[in-house]
Structure 1
Amino acid sequence: MKLPPACCRLQTLGAALGVCVTIGFTVQLLGGPFQRRPPPAPAGRPPPAPCAPHTHLMFLKTHKTGGSSVVNLLHRFGESRGLRFALPHRYQFGYPNSFRADRVKGYRPGGPPFDVLCHHMRFNLTEVQKLMPKDTFYFSILRDPGFLGESAFVYYRGVAPAFHRAPSLAAFLTSPHLYYHPQTRGNHYARNLQWFDLGLPGPGENQSIEKTLNQLEQTFNLMLITEYFDESLVLLRDALCWRDEDLLLFTQNQRFVGKKTPISASQRDQFRAWNDLDWILYSHFNRSLWRRLEAYGAARLRSEVARLRHRRAAGARRCLQGGGPVPAQLIVDGHLRPFQPPGGRAQILGYALRAGLPPGERQRCARLATPELQYKDILDRRQFGGGNGSSGGGGGQ
């Protein structure tokens, strides 16, 4: 992305350049009062009409798909605008049981609707509609089960009996039915997890796959795809009439991989076959996403994705110690230390803030780095008292 001409003219002046970069980053991070400039209209067409940002949002956070990063984005968007979140009493809405409106803290029948619903649940549209406005924008995120399967195996090995009983990933993939019993508690993590999170009927429940997919198309305005995360965000930004600044995020709940050998192509195919319903679901909405992206235009898409990544990289350099994620044990501020799954088989990375950040900027950077559980507590205190949503610990809260 080219720097604005004013900044370019100041490149030879070290002190002035520092001011320019700082101001530029602050505008990117905070957003300020500026709306995103729409792309120029093709010759002969009028420019697009201005639109208002969408603020009624239902995001179905599916497991091991990158949804935690989207939730952080929604947390910051909603907090900065004083939106009302539908929050669980703890951290999930009775999952893995089907969602019920009465599991939302502060919900009462006939009461005022909520603005944002984005925490883990097993989706139930009828119950969701009891608390969200009619103009709510519904979206979710899906991941190729060839990759999700391996991530779930590592992350949930301590809680999914099917994974725990298998001596290794290879052994599980060779004979998954040997270890998997569908009625055993926790085994929903071991097969067709995305299908389960969407609250869809299981095999033999007398509903065709085609009808199920059609119903999802009618319910969800957009399905993001993990493998094309930034491209998906570009479509989301335009659909919601958000600013570029609203899409700034740092990847949350990222697993440390190190020098571990990735799973083979044949193992990915085995996971796709085992998670057959998830593969159908993913394939359908991956095609749907790419129809939208092709309509968006290849050159325009490349430009928008590059701008998005440029902003993210600039934010990371400005905010983060080392410019990226670090192991949890290196994060001194407990408010920024991510949750680690039971069993210790997966190491989840987090973020440590650079030393010496001015207080206001430190607060903004901390919000970008705050894990989901801690951010939910911030929002809870803001909506229901018990604090003002901030505490010590170096600005992490």
Structure 2
Amino acid sequence: MRILATQEPRREMVMWNFSCKKKIGTASTALIILTFVLLYHNLGISRQGTARSSSADTNLRGVDAIQDDSDVRVTKEWRDDAVINEAAVENRVLNAHGGTNGFNPQCKMKKSIAFMKVQKAGSQTTACILQRFGYEHGLNFVLPKKCLSVKLGFPEGMTNKILMKQNVDEYNLLVYHTVYDRVKLHKLMAPDTQFIAILREPFSHLKSCFFYFHRDKRFALLTEKNPLGKYLDNPWLYEGSKKAKKKPVSMTKNLQSYVLGWKDRFNQDREEVRKFISQLDSDFPLILILEYFDASLVLLRRLMCWSFYNILYDRQPRNEQKYSKPQSMYTEQQLQNHRNSSWVDYQLYDHFNRSLWSKIRAAGPDFQDELEAFQQLNDDVNSYCAGKPKKKKTFPGSKWNGPVEIKPQFCEDLKKERFQWDIKICYRAHAYGKDTMLANEARFQKYKENRENTVTTATKAKGTQRKSDQILNDLKKRFPGVDLSAVMKKSDIPVSKVVMAIKQGQYTVDGAAQRLKTLIQNTKQ
């Protein structure tokens, strides 16, 4: 059975036994619920029988989202730094979701959405979901003048000069990297636009950004055994020059807050941070959390009155990154240094993670079943599409969703990457002609083939190296107490040739060991 990953920072919860009313009808009802919430938190009620499943959330995050065991230590002090009243969030959530009904046929689909795309936080996968929705419904995207660019005024911010001029009445979709400016963006987008974003646990986010953006090279830490650990010994030492401070954004300090409009990464004034988060809480009806991605999508579906079909996604990670350095352990002081240097990001994540769980509680006791129904459908559709089907297939409906018909074309769309959607969207917006569109598609296919070939070659090389290492280790076992590599080098016996001879079947390991003993003895004489 598929279940929602349930571990929330600081505490465990009896999530699905927590009943919520559709509306708070009277002040007394609100007081009773608020009192129960407070008692619930203070008593530290634990949830039993729940373990993290191998859900699609794990597939989405891929290798770069796997946290070291020591990462949990970063979150220990979150309770003390809470800056927004959680009861107010709960009250607002109940009203925003119109009660706990998971599937409301009277709910009118919303089509306008602005997505603040936070780097290395699952934003590529989310953007592809929204691009597919917008393209299928013929909606108008806010596009950069250089139409295939991933940026729309990042990091400087959006201006009219960088926008592509389009002859449209209103804009419905924003999915490119930019910086949140509530005045500009609310004026630009359609009146009924829903603003959303996605956040990631800050230390996990740092690890991904640090290596993806090659900060180890930028900070001259490539030769370090643990470059990120070295950085965390004193994060203020890096990007601390006058030149660096003049840059509007840092890829290692409060990056998530910056994308959502926090302009000064060095400003950690508690009251200003509280006001900043409070304003975001008012502007954004939903902020997704990467660690609970599927649950976030189900809440997005409810917010937008969409179907499961609209939030299906390819489980193959977008922009997947494998660290060039092995996972490392980090000291308590290093983790605290990151918390101190990116304090605003921790406040932001802590608040909206709690806000997400408030929304889940408000969604009703059957939210778990709805989540599992979506995950099952997404698994089934991914499995169906993996077989490169030629005929359509209808998947059965559920309490929360009608039957879903999937055609082979949808499978192609499901696997499209951000750049492929950009090509189609820009063509529809008349950014270029059909010939250019076809040329761009051919260019992307060539890039994709080269990327896959590079991955295949690297995988084969790693496999070959592992086999060579194993052979050498087996040889060394035949020479206990002897530095075999050093002896072979001194005897002018190439290690690589010996290993290659064994791999090619010219010798067994024992046969090669016996020959080596003879060669070494002859060399000594």
What TM-score results when the alignment is normalised by the length of structure 1?
Answer: 0.71
> Any unmatched runs of 5+ in structure 2?
2-98, 393-405, 449-525
Which residue of the partner structure matches residue 245 of structure 1?
309
Which residue of the partner structure matches residue 76 of structure 1?
132
Aligned-partner residue type, residue 193 of structure 1: L
**SS of residue in 1 equivalent to 2:434:** coil
Matches of 2:369 and 2:389, distance apart in 1: 33
- Summarize the alignment of residues 204-283 of structure 1 with structure 2, pairs less than 5 Å apart: 204=267, 208-250=272-314, 251-256=317-322, 260-261=326-327, 264=330, 266=332, 269-283=336-350
Aligned-partner residue type, residue 91 of structure 1: V
* Structure-2 change in CA distance of 1:204 and 1:379 (3 Å): same
Confirm or deny that 1:93 pairs with 2:93: no
**SS of residue in 2 equivalent to 1:58:** strand
Aligned-partner residue type, residue 125 of structure 1: R
- Summarize the alignment of residues 377-392 of structure 1 with structure 2, pairs less than 5 Å apart: 377-384=423-430, 385-387=432-434
- Matched-pair identity in %: 27
Matches of 1:173 and 1:166, distance apart in 2: 16
Matches of 1:259 and 1:152, distance apart in 2: 13
How much does 1:296 deviate?
1.6
**SS of residue in 2 equivalent to 1:130:** helix
Verify the 8 A CA contact 2:152 2:177 in the aligned structure 1: yes
How much does 1:319 deviate?
1.9
Mean CA deviation greater in 165-174 or 64-73: 165-174
Confirm or deny that 1:304 pairs with 2:370: yes
**SS of residue in 2 equivalent to 1:227:** helix
Matches of 2:216 and 2:164, distance apart in 1: 27
How big is each residue's C-alpha offset from its partner over 1:17-66, in whole Å with a ceiling of 9 and x where there is no partner? xxxxxxxxxxxxxxxxxxxxxxxx99xx9x95602111111111111111
* Structure-2 change in CA distance of 1:196 and 1:259 (3 Å): closer
Choose 1 or 2 for highest CA Rg: 2
Matches of 1:58 and 1:369, distance apart in 2: 22
Matches of 1:107 and 1:163, distance apart in 2: 45
Which residue of the partner structure matches residue 292 of structure 1?
359
Matches of 2:104 and 2:248, distance apart in 1: 49
How much does 1:367 deviate?
1.6
How much does 1:71 deviate?
0.5
How much does 1:288 deviate?
1.1
How big is each residue's C-alpha offset from its partner over 1:68-116, in whole Å with a ceiling of 9 and x where there is no partner? 11100001101111111111122211311112244221258xx621111
* Structure-2 change in CA distance of 1:221 and 1:363 (3 Å): same
> Any unmatched runs of 5+ in structure 1?
2-40, 321-353
Matches of 2:141 and 2:421, distance apart in 1: 12
How much does 1:258 deviate?
10
How much does 1:373 deviate?
2.1
Verify the 8 A CA contact 1:101 1:107 in the aligned structure 2: no
How much does 1:154 deviate?
1.0
Matches of 1:67 and 1:87, distance apart in 2: 17
How much does 1:357 deviate?
4.3
* Structure-2 change in CA distance of 1:55 and 1:259 (3 Å): same
Matches of 2:135 and 2:267, distance apart in 1: 43
Confirm or deny that 1:56 pairs with 2:112: yes
Matches of 1:183 and 1:281, distance apart in 2: 22
Which residue of the partner structure matches residue 191 of structure 2?
134
What TM-score results when the alignment is normalised by the length of structure 2?
Answer: 0.55
* Structure-2 change in CA distance of 1:179 and 1:165 (3 Å): farther
Matches of 1:62 and 1:145, distance apart in 2: 12
Q: Residue 161 of structure 1: which of 212, 218, 228 is its match?
A: 218
* Structure-2 change in CA distance of 1:263 and 1:76 (3 Å): farther
Which residue of the partner structure matches residue 477 of structure 2?
none
Q: Residue 178 of structure 1: which of 230, 237, 258 is its match?
A: 237
Aligned-partner residue type, residue 279 of structure 1: Y
How much does 1:163 deviate?
7.6
* Structure-2 change in CA distance of 1:131 and 1:172 (3 Å): same
* Structure-2 change in CA distance of 1:204 and 1:382 (3 Å): same
Q: Residue 412 of structure 2: which of 363, 366, 377 is its match?
A: 366
Q: Residue 65 of structure 1: which of 121, 131, 137 is its match?
A: 121
Matches of 1:355 and 1:231, distance apart in 2: 28
Matches of 2:205 and 2:298, distance apart in 1: 23
**SS of residue in 2 equivalent to 1:194:** helix
Mean CA deviation greater in 361-370 or 58-67: 361-370
Matches of 1:378 and 1:210, distance apart in 2: 41
Which residue of the partner structure matches residue 340 of structure 1?
none
How much does 1:164 deviate?
6.2
How big is each residue's C-alpha offset from its partner over 1:121-151, in whole Å with a ceiling of 9 and x where there is no partner? 1121222123211211011111110110100
* Structure-2 change in CA distance of 1:268 and 1:315 (3 Å): farther
Q: Which has the higher helix share?
A: 2
**SS of residue in 2 equivalent to 1:85:** coil
Matches of 1:164 and 1:265, distance apart in 2: 18
Which residue of the partner structure matches residue 262 of structure 2?
200
Alignment length, in residue pairs?
Answer: 318
How much does 1:271 deviate?
3.2
Verify the 8 A CA contact 1:146 1:269 in the aligned structure 2: no
Aligned-partner residue type, residue 195 of structure 2: Y
* Structure-2 change in CA distance of 1:158 and 1:357 (3 Å): farther
